């Protein structure tokens, strides 16, 4: 485990209905941070690197990692218990495709018994509803022609068909913006919005080996202005905070999250650091921007998250 993580020696136990009562939790955390307690409360967990798809830009899933060893159910349960005891409150379980783990229902039961909030990040093409996390995120690359060109023919329809069967679990769509889709934000929202609770957007990270789809800073600005305009129109439920859309630069607080590799290695750097040295100057990762805006106690960021997602948890 990384020695640089400043674990909480007396973790504050958030209420089990974390979503509805998250404002007092964030306020208390911010106060404790000001007083010097820099402990993380969020964990991005790569449960597996296996995936049923082979998306064009994905740095996580390649042919060789499919044969990597995986941790057993008991090993993951021990890691979740350890994280909970050290003050982590939210687990984001991702991959690869985490729903390929047949023990995921048991792992979620264990996490919930520890009082943790769970979010499962899926491509939405397997049947996700057999598992019951607190919330899901699903990847959407754009309208059908774009989504299928990245993920393979038929996968957009498969995703929508699955979303139509949702028994009522909050779902956030996540779209990684790049050259192929940044002009199609409105079309993407029209296609997916009726079936998801809220839509979030992020920008493709410039992983060193995969830069052909990267947006220029000017194109990133155009996409951010489009999102601001659409938020203002109130036609869609958009997760990105205004502060993240208005400003080119931002302060990242990677300390508030740890990342856990598919081999159970816990590190203090953001998940980019699991692959290569993070390039913070070029980074527009929406999830860290949102967490950092919440941590800075930007009221609009918190209120936006609350009204679109947390109140449904
Ligand atoms: S679904 Fe996700 S993990 Fe699987 S190949 Fe596509 S981007 Fe990678
Ligand atoms: S690469 Fe991005 S998410 Fe990672 S520490 Fe830098 S700014 Fe934060």
Confidence (pTM): 0.90
pLDDT tens, residue by residue, 146-170: 999 999 999 999 999 999 999 999 9
Say which CATH topology domain 59-312 has.
pyruvate-formate lyase- activating enzyme (3.80.30)
pLDDT at residue 3, rounded to an integer: 46
Longest dimension (CA), the chain: 53
Phi/psi at 106 (nearest 5 deg)?
Answer: -65, -40
Comparing CA positions, the residue from 199, 136, 128 lying closest to residue 162 is: 128
Substitution site in 254, 258, 287, 295 for ligand 2 pocket (most atoms within 8 Å of beta carbon): 254
Q: Which residues contact 267 (CB under 8 A, 6 or more apart)?
A: 2, 5, 258, 259, 260, 261, 273, 274
Tell me how long the chain is: 313
**Residue 254 Cα to ligand 2 middle (Å):** 7
With beta carbons less than 8 A apart as the criterion, state whether 104 and 76 touch.
no
pLDDT at residue 62, rounded to an integer: 56
Pick the atom of ligand 2 nearest to 271's CA: 4
Ligand 1 neighbour 5 (Cβ under 6 A): no
Ligand 2 neighbour 286 (Cβ under 6 A): no
Ligand in nearest proximity to the CA of 56: 1
pLDDT at residue 115, rounded to an integer: 87
**pLDDT-flagged residues of the chain (< 50):** 1-3, 63
pLDDT at residue 158, rounded to an integer: 96
Other beta carbons within 10 angstroms of residue 263's beta carbon come to 13
pLDDT at residue 56, rounded to an integer: 73
Ligand 1 neighbour 97 (Cβ under 6 A): yes
**Residue 207 Cα to ligand 1 middle (Å):** 15
pLDDT at residue 1, rounded to an integer: 46
Please give the C-alpha separations between residue 187 and each of 49, 201, 230, in angstroms, as whole numbers: 31, 14, 11
Pick the atom of ligand 2 nearest to 284's CA: 2
pLDDT at residue 36, rounded to an integer: 81
Domain boundaries, the chain: 59-312
**Residue 270 Cα to ligand 2 middle (Å):** 6
pLDDT at residue 133, rounded to an integer: 95
With beta carbons less than 8 A apart as the criterion, state whether 2 and 266 touch.
yes
Rounded to whole angstroms, the Cα distance separating 245 from 9 reads 36
Q: What is the 3-state secondary structure (H, E, C) of the chain?
A: CCCCCCCCCCCCCCCCCCCCCHHHHHHHHHHHHHCCCCCCCEEEEECCCCCCCCCCCCCCCCCHHHHCCCCCHHHHHHHHHHHHHCCCCEEEEECCCHHHCCCHHHHHHHHHHCCCEEEEEECCCCCHHHCCCCEEEEECCCCHHHHHHHHCCCHHHHHHHHHHCCCCCCEEEEEEECCCCCCCHHHHHHHHHHHCCEEEEEECCCCCCCCCCCCCHHHHHHHHHHHHHHHHHCCCCECCCHHHHHCCCCCCCHHHEEEECCCCCEECCCHHHHCCCCCHHHCCCHHHHHHHHHHCCCHHHHHHHHHHCHHHC
How many angstroms separate the first and last alpha carbons of the chain? 31
């Amino acid at each position: 485990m990384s020695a640089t993580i400043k674990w909480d020696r007396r973790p504050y136990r958030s209420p089990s209905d974390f979503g509805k009562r998250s404002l007092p939790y964030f306020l208390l955390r911010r106060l404790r941070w000001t007083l010097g307690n820099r402990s993380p409360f969020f964990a991005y967990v790569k449960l597996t690197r296996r995936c049923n798809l082979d998306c064009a830009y994905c740095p996580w899933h390649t042919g060789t990692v499919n044969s990597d060893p995986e941790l057993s159910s008991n090993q993951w349960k021990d890691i979740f218990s350890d994280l909970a005891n050290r003050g982590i409150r939210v687990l984001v379980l991702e991959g690869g495709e985490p729903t390929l783990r047949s023990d995921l229902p048991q792992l979620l039961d264990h996490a919930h018994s520890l009082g943790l909030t769970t979010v499962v990040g899926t491509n939405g093409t397997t049947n996700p509803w057999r598992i019951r996390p607190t919330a899901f995120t699903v990847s959407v690359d754009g309208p059908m022609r774009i989504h299928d060109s990245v993920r393979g023919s038929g996968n957009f329809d498969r995703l929508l068909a699955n979303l139509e069967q949702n028994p009522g679990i909050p779902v956030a769509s996540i779209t990684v913006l790049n050259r192929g889709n940044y002009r199609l934000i409105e079309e993407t929202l029209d296609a997916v919005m009726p079936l998801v609770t809220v839509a979030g957007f992020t920008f493709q990270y410039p992983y060193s080996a995969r830069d052909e789809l990267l947006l220029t800073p000017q194109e990133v600005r155009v996409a951010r202005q489009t999102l601001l305009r659409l938020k203002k129109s109130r036609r869609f439920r958009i997760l990105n905070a205004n502060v993240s859309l208005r400003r080119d630069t931002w302060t990242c607080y990677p300390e508030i999250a740890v990342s856990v590799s598919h081999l159970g290695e816990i590190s203090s750097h953001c998940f980019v650091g699991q692959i290569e040295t993070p390039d913070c100057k070029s980074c527009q990762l929406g999830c860290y921007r949102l967490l950092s805006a919440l941590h800075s106690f930007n009221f609009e960021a918190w209120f936006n998250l609350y009204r679109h997602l947390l109140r449904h948890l």
